[in-house]
Amino acid sequence: MIIGIDLGTTNSLAAYFTEGGPKIIPNRLGENLTPSVVSVDENGQVFVGRTAIERKQLYPDTCAEVFKRSMGTSREYHLSGKIFKAEELSSFVLRSLKEDAEAFLGEEIKEAVISVPAYFNDVQRKATKRAGELAGLTVERMISEPTAAAISYGLHQKNPNTRFLVFDLGGGTFDVSILELYKNIMEVRAVAGDNYLGGEDFNAIIADIFCKKLTINEEELSEKERVHLHYQAEQAKKDFTDHSKVTMKCKLGGEIRVCEIDEEEFEKASQALLTRLRRPIERSLSDANIKLKDINEIVLVGGSTKMPLVRRFVSRLFGRFPNVSINPEEVVALGAAVQGAMKERNELIKEMIMTDVCPFTLGTDVVVGREGGYKEPGHFFPIIERNTVIPVSRTERLYTANDYQSMIKVEVLQGESRFSRNNLLLGEVEIPVPRKKAGEEAVDITYTYDINSILEVEVQVVSTGQKKRIVLKKDDVDMTDEEIDARFKELAALKIHPREEEENKLLILQGERLYEECTGDMRRAIDRELNAFEAILDKQNRQEIEEARAHFKEFLATANDMKWDEDF
């Protein structure tokens, strides 16, 4: 049997498919949710879930949580003298779910479909797959969390033609996906999100309110007291589900401190977080070229959507009440179980064809020509745009930038910034070319991206036919903390070009933001205008700069009007 697993930031759970549909698998304590918390004692024994939470109250330095946010990074967690990475800690949670499923179902579990945030990049997805393998599971298929949720709702959908907007706010991540169900085809139209926004941030808001009202300096608290403070803040957040005013109590410095917090001040303090929720929604609608009135169902997913202030925010934003007919904390695991049944070709379920999208733009580094023959390296050239339906293959032809160069290096990049240095380096391919003048030699670069997040890059020299190919599947390119520090030192030491006027800086930043938000022809037009404006700045002629600034400002205003739906 293939089970479905929702590997969450705050809680994790597993489900399986039955004749009556997908069902949640209770853990060894008889609970549906297993907290994603790990504790390791001095003897090396590992505790997961509720037990780990209790140990955290007593021995905070032996516990780790919210490690999903660090998946695919070099961050290390030190627990009782032992060092772990996020995927290793996640594997402990997955192994616990696997063992609970085996005890409940009475059979060995060898394979699972694991959910991941829609906005996880390739490195994060591969780290999740490694976590599954470390737990003794075969993970041939991962499914994005909003897609899993849409599958759950899609099974109960009477209308075969439905557009879903899935609002997925978990403990540590936020995703928005727009999906369309047409007969038996579930098509992902667009995804967007924020991997550093979730319920934990709302807990921090409540803890901050508590400290400010009682004039407590959180930094002066012991580690054990800080853990207690944030635990009580989480409990207060949950109490807001049934009450408009909550009383939060904490024992700090041997004294019980009490504070009353009402929902209005909590919502006011959370405005910055609510604002951050809006941008991915705008981006996904724009990328899908869909207006709000065309959305049939707004689905809430994730435990943090149980907060009344989040539900009010969503209702006001969309002008209607969202669908919460399936438990937001369980819907992803249920959808993952359905995906597992599809993979097994279970006869009890009608086959549903899934299409997904590439969540980030994939491209390479290029040199851009400036006026006067000046060449500026370090610009990002998109090859597969974000939210392109996968599997997909795209080919672009690029030419040599320097006279008599003997080698072309293709850097494989992932991200949305127009500058290569701000995007994620996945790998690189080097291939020799005949030594000729700039522009006389060319290579065809082909990116092929499949549904399992495997990227194939093929580079072919046009004149000789020589090819080189890499498959970015297992070897992840990460930067260590030392390398990141060194990179920032290098950037800080670079001579800054004289573009110090605030108005010019602001326009360039606005242009770069629009570039990241757009795709296709609009993105290329913005890039051309940005390059033209920067070229004028390079010349440092005051009159030309003023004229170019006025033109660029007008262009940005027009582009912005075209970008966002005025009714949004």
**Count of the separate structural domains present in the chain:** 4
Tokens of 313: 């925010």
348 and 372 co-located in one domain = no
Range picked from 40-54, 93-107, 120-134 for highest mean pLDDT: 93-107
478 and 367 co-located in one domain = yes
298 and 176 co-located in one domain = yes
Percentage of residues of the chain with pLDDT beyond 70: 89
CATH classification at residue 204: 3.90.640.10
CATH classification at residue 367: 2.60.34.10
Provide the H-helix boundaries in 214-330: 223-239, 263-269, 271-288, 308-318
Mark which of 357, 373, 404 sits at the end of a domain.
357
Helix (H, G, I), strand (E, B) or coil at 51: helix
509 and 523 co-located in one domain = yes
Percentage of residues of the chain with pLDDT beyond 90: 47
113 and 245 co-located in one domain = no
* Amino acid letter, 566: E
366 and 459 co-located in one domain = yes
* Average of per-residue pLDDT across 34-63: 88
Is the model's pLDDT at 411 over the cut of 90? yes
In contact, 195 and 66? CB cutoff 8 Å: no
Q: Which pLDDT score, from 0 to 100, does residue 451 have?
A: 67
400 and 342 co-located in one domain = no
Tens of pLDDT, residue by residue over 74-99, are 899 999 888 999 999 999 999 999 99
Q: Which carries the bigger pLDDT value, residue 474 or residue 118?
A: 118
Tens of pLDDT, residue by residue over 167-198, are 999 888 898 989 888 777 778 888 888 888 99
446 and 552 co-located in one domain = no
What domain range is 263 assigned to? 199-271
pTM, rounded to two decimals:
0.68
In contact, 91 and 131? CB cutoff 8 Å: yes
370 and 380 co-located in one domain = yes
Integer distance in angstroms from the first to the last C-alpha of the chain?
Answer: 45
Q: Which pLDDT score, from 0 to 100, does residue 452 have?
A: 62
230 and 132 co-located in one domain = no
Mark which of 306, 339, 357 sits at the end of a domain.
357
Q: Which pLDDT score, from 0 to 100, does residue 354 have?
A: 65
Mark which of 328, 357, 386 sits at the end of a domain.
357
Tokens of 387: 């939210």
CA distance 67 to 64: 7
* Amino acid letter, 421: R
Tens of pLDDT, residue by residue over 293-336, are 889 889 899 889 999 999 999 999 988 899 888 899 999 999 99
Per DSSP, 473 falls in state S
345: left (phi over 0), alpha (psi -120 to 50) or beta: left
CA distance 10 to 4: 17
Tens of pLDDT, residue by residue over 428-458, are 999 999 999 989 999 999 998 876 667 889 9
103 and 187 co-located in one domain = yes
Q: Which pLDDT score, from 0 to 100, does residue 157 have?
A: 59
119 and 129 co-located in one domain = yes
Helix (H, G, I), strand (E, B) or coil at 214: coil
Residue 525 burial by Cβ neighbours in a 10 Å radius (0-12, 13-18, 19+): middle
Closest to 338 in 3D by CA, of 161, 167, 180, 147: 147
